[in-house]
A and B are shown apart, each in its own frame.
Chain A
Amino acid sequence: MRAVPFILIGALWGSPSFAAPSMDQRNEAFQDVNTAAADGNRAAAADGLIAIIENPDWDMFDGEAHARLAVMLQDFDLPYSALVAYTKALETDPEGVGSEAGKAVELADKVGDQAILEPVFASNLGLEVDDNTRSRMAYLAARENHRSGNLSTAAAMLKMVKPSDPFYPEAKSLEGIILSLQGRHGDALAPFQIALAVGDRAKRAGIFKSVVQMNLARAYYAAENYPQAAHYWAQIERGDAKWLDAQFERAWAHFRMEDMNGVLGLLQNHVSPYFQDRYYPEAAMLRLYALFLLCKFPEASAQLEAFQAQYRPQQQDLLAAASLSPAQLFDQIRRHIDGEESDLPKMVTTSFENEDRIRDSIIAVANAEEEMARLRNVSANTFAQVGTEWVEGRRTAIIQAEGARILKEIESMEGELTEMLSNSDVTKLDLMQMESRLYERASFTGKLPEAKRRVKRKVRARVTERLWDWQGEYWADEIGYYKIDSKPECPENLMQGG
């Protein structure tokens, strides 16, 4: 079993290259370039390299010409064009220019576009490079394979990432994600724990830490260790961007532990007026389910009404957003992240505003635009025209890819909401029936028999806490501190506890 990834890597190790050209051919091809370079005319030399690239007779020198052009473009302080040139060089002749991979990685870091190298490294991990470069290449190649769904290959590549690599915490985190996707939730725990530990040591605070904690909690949840899952979700601090997600997911863990009051306490945040513009329909449904299991039918009906009132307009907003093109969507998210006015609803922007990938893409697009502006100043040169074309192409590719991803997310949200809303009408009828029977029974017997409780809780405050009585009003500073202890009102021997 374990040999499979290495066989796959072996298959990817190296790509076919052209038959070795003779020195005479080489001298002939690069004659003009060498002459211009010797005369100190670097622009003419760069134009000469473009001529070689565009000449089908010299296809065998494409890799070298791209690599030499990359060096020149870097000298001209055109890092994005140089990065594209290196990428093309590595694509065309990976073995011939493999030693330049390290420089390509440096440029990718500089312009914020590591993604451009991921496909080429995924196909050429066996290049002759130093250990540090290979480690970085392995991480980028693993990301590409993860994205393409080649999970085993990606996992094997991640084993090549060195602990001294600056992206080692990210690599361990990705390893955990891949193992989770493979259904090996127990095995995923160790990489996530390592990612947390080395991330702390590497001072990876903020979103990295919370994302790893969330994934660790999810792995525990999937491994059916609900108390431990709840513990890790509870570690996400109240001010964290992932806090509301963590509260919602933690509610699921409490649900699995049959702690319905715990579910209601955690989801009280989501039904508060502060988050009415966020997208948590599943939280509303989970809350409804918990109310139902406590036989709080009138409350569940009210919850359902509130769900429909909140999410019907949001569904329309999502439909409107889904009509935008990928480029428009990317632009709107970019405006939002740059602190400008965005037309997208908040439920969409919050999904992306703390995501590393979209932020990296925005930085890359901004760097591309800045470089295109500088290239326009020297547009008479062939190399500048080609550089503009390359960078513009890369910019468009990023915008299209990210915009399509945003659109897919919006469509997924809209589809989910449509289904939930249509099902909710049926649920509403059922609930009304249950509610009226509950009232009938209560009026008949005078009271409802008390059901057994599964979880006993006594609300008390520690020295570092204050206990406030709930009087039906929401205070922003109380969000996250709700405790609910409501008795189930189900007939005995039927169900559930609180």
Chain B
Amino acid sequence: MNRALSIIFATLALSLGTPAHAQNAIDVGVIKDDDVKIVQKLLYPKADKLELGAHLAMMPFDAFTFTPAMAFTVAKHMREDLGIEGVLMGGYSLKNTRYNELEGPAYGISPDAYRFLGSAMVDAQYSPIYAKMNVAGQRIYHHDVFVTGGLGVTIEEAMQPDNSLALAPTLGIGIGARIFTGNGYALRLQLRDDILREKRAKTVDTQGWFIKQNVSVVLGLSKLSK
């Protein structure tokens, strides 16, 4: 090989044997970063796959309640960046510190709060961002970021003694990330805001519809079909 190299060296030497006129810094003879691309096979593709998920959720931002909940999701990904997802969520709102304080002897009132019981939503899911992160210089995690939006219904009941039920049409929006952990599994973290248009029995005469927001933080595990 060195013999072959020597012949080529000699040929090139003749061609390049030109005197120097200036010594400007010129970016020649190197492989530039722009010359290199990485065309990577998608390690965790979603297109044409079904995704089943189980999630734990909580609604920590409500003025009077704290709600632990669980959710199950089924998503069909038509494309890498587009899918449709059904969400069934169930939970039970508990009185928070403020509610208890208002109920106490100092105030003696019961806020007109409604307890979350469950919801059924159909969301469109758009995931335009696919990225990866290196954790502590060791493991590389691929993840995507998605936004969701959809419609559905939520069922709630009054926390006051009459426990009247309210079935509310709901608009849901959200943003989340899916961290792929391998073998088709993904850890999902999502922040969603369900906006309810709720008809409350006790105030129907004075205020026909309440607008309520159930903001939830959802953490779950999902499995993508093969």
Contacts and interface: CB of A to CB of B under 8 A. Distances in A.
Given A437-B13, A469-B37, A443 B26 contact: yes
Interface stretch (B1-9, B92-100, B116-124): B1-9
Contact of A467 (B33, B37, B134): B37
Given A427-B5, A443-B20, A464-B42, A470 B26 contact: no
Given A289-B1, A440-B18, A443-B21, A296 B31 contact: yes
A426 B132 contact: no
Nearest to A490: B12
A423 to B, nearest CB: 5
A377 to B, nearest CB: 47
Contact of B36 (A268, A297, A430): A268
Contacts of A426: 2
A476 interface: yes
A484 B31 contact: yes
B23 interface: yes
Interface in A452-484: 459-461, 463-472, 475-478, 481-484
A489 interface: yes
Contacts of B140: 475-477
A148 B120 CA distance: 75
B14 to A, nearest CB: 9
B204 interface: no
A485 B35 contact: yes
Contact of A481 (B8, B18, B19, B38): B38
Contacts of A441: 16, 18
B179 to A, nearest CB: 14
A378 interface: no
A303 B224 CA distance: 43
A470 B36 contact: yes
Contacts of B35: 470, 484-487
B195 to A, nearest CB: 35
A435 interface: yes
B24 interface: yes
Given A448-B28, A468-B40, A491-B15, A463 B132 contact: no
B30 interface: yes
A463 B47 contact: yes
Contacts of B135: none
A443 B22 contact: yes
Contacts, number: 152
A426 B16 CA distance: 20
A467 B16 contact: no
Contact of A483 (B17, B32, B37, B41): B37
Nearest to A282: B1
Contact of A438 (B16, B33, B80, B142): B16
B30 A470 contact: no
A466 B39 CA distance: 6
B11 interface: yes
Contacts of B1: 285, 289
Nearest to B36: A470
B61 interface: no
A465 B39 contact: yes
Contacts of A297: 29
A295 B21 contact: no
Contacts of A464: 41-42, 45
Contacts of A7: none
Nearest to A473: B134
Interface in B47-64: 47
A397 interface: no
Contacts of B23: 439, 443
Contacts of B29: 295-300, 435, 438-439, 489
Contacts of A295: 12, 29
B40 A466 contact: yes
27 contacts: A268-B36, A293-B8, A295-B12, A298-B29, A302-B30, A430-B6, A434-B12, A439-B23, A440-B16, A443-B20, A444-B22, A448-B28, A463-B47, A463-B80, A464-B45, A465-B40, A467-B38, A469-B33, A469-B34, A469-B37, A471-B33, A481-B40, A483-B39, A486-B35, A489-B28, A494-B12, A495-B12
Given A470-B36, A483-B38, A487-B35, 11 more contacts: A293-B8, A427-B5, A437-B17, A464-B45, A466-B39, A466-B130, A468-B37, A477-B40, A477-B43, A484-B35, A495-B11
In order of increasing CB-CB distance, the 6 nearest A-B pairs are: A470-B36, A440-B20, A437-B16, A486-B35, A468-B38, A298-B29
